[in-house]
Amino acid sequence: MVSVEAELDFGNRRTLEMYWEAINAIRAKHQKYNVLLSNVYSLYNELLA
């Protein structure tokens, strides 16, 4: 999307920057979820050991 005009308006006051912010917010939440899930698996494996 780097080649798309930065000031592009998608209507309803939605801009490319707003979409990037939403995408990055979801990426951050997904990363946090993966860390927490990894911790749960580690604790579960400790209980089984």
Encode the chain (49 residues) as per-residue pLDDT tens digits: 567 676 777 888 888 889 999 999 999 999 999 999 999 999 999 999 8
The token pair at 12 is 């309803």
Whole-number pLDDT of residue 49: 87
Place of tokens 């995408």: 23
With contact defined as beta carbons under 8 Å apart, do 22 and 15 qualify? no
- 39's enclosing H/E stretch is helix 16-48
CA distance 20 to 16: 6
Instruction: For residue 15, count other CB atoms closer than 10 A to its CB.
Output: 14
CA distance 40 to 30: 15
